[in-house]
Amino acid sequence: MSIATPDRIKVLWFLPTHGDSRYLGTSEGGRAVDLPYLTQVAKAADAIGYYGALLPTGRSCEDSWVVASALAPLTQRLRFLVAVRPGLQSPTLAARMTSTLDRISSGRLLINVVTGGDPVENKGNGIFLSHDERYEVTREFLDIYKAVLRGETVAFSGKHFRIEDGRLLFPPVQTPHPPLYFGGSSEAANAVAAEQIDKYLTWGEPPADVAAKVDHVRGLAEKAGRHVTFGIRLHVIVRETNDEAWADADRLISRLDDKTIAEAQKVFARMDS
């Protein structure tokens, strides 16, 4: 497959709102989450010229909306990729939060639509929906959310949401709304991406697998009369030589043990179910 490469790739950094560590799978040599450290990371990314920064979401992290609100006034160009959570949030409430943060950041908000997650964590948040039901919720959520951000007054009655007189008083800076990012490999996820999303995200996987995924989602989007762009999440180690980079990679995983790996595999298996 041949893919045209854009003249300029948008590179985002990462804000460690769950803490930072020197070795994968441990807290050894780590730094706790606090505002001065997050400010240091955000200001460095801003000064260097990164397009934006991802703020992760979940119970292992500090709240991404609060952190982005704290850091927006301390940066100038850096965009903040912050999650909305269908099933956890009302779509109209999420639209107001989106508009407010987009306004106070002068149009530097990016939205990560997070449908999935660890089912154990979901239950801790009061979500007991099946996989396909979560994507039903996401589709209804986005229909309402996007309409409200476009300035429409929404009346909606669906399987999962009922809205009367849903609207915004203060519109976002970006029109019709901040860009919507989204990841998911199931057919239900691919359908939502093709119909609703601006940028489809994938993890770093073997190139042939990524190519097949991109082709599939692009085809679904074309059938829906839409254009979707793509992003990939990678962990990059840069050193003077390949040998130095591989040595540093080995150091990063040197504290991992079989138990930690097995626990991580269990979590990812649950997320795929």
Q: Domains of the chain: which residue ranges? A: 12-272
DSSP state, residue 77 = S
The token pair at 261 is 């790996």
Strands 180-183 and 199-203: parallel
Contact 202/230 with Cβ under 8 angstroms?
A: yes
Q: How confident is the model at residue 2 (pLDDT cuts 50, 70, 90)?
A: very low
Which tens digit of pLDDT belongs to each residue from 180-212?
999 998 999 999 999 999 999 999 999 999 999
* Statement: residue 73 has pLDDT above 60: yes
Q: How confident is the model at residue 242 (pLDDT cuts 50, 70, 90)?
A: very high
The token pair at 189 is 């996820």
12-272 CATH: 3.20.20.30
The token pair at 136 is 């039903």
pLDDT value for 116: 76
The span from the CA of 145 to the CA of 142, in Å, is: 5
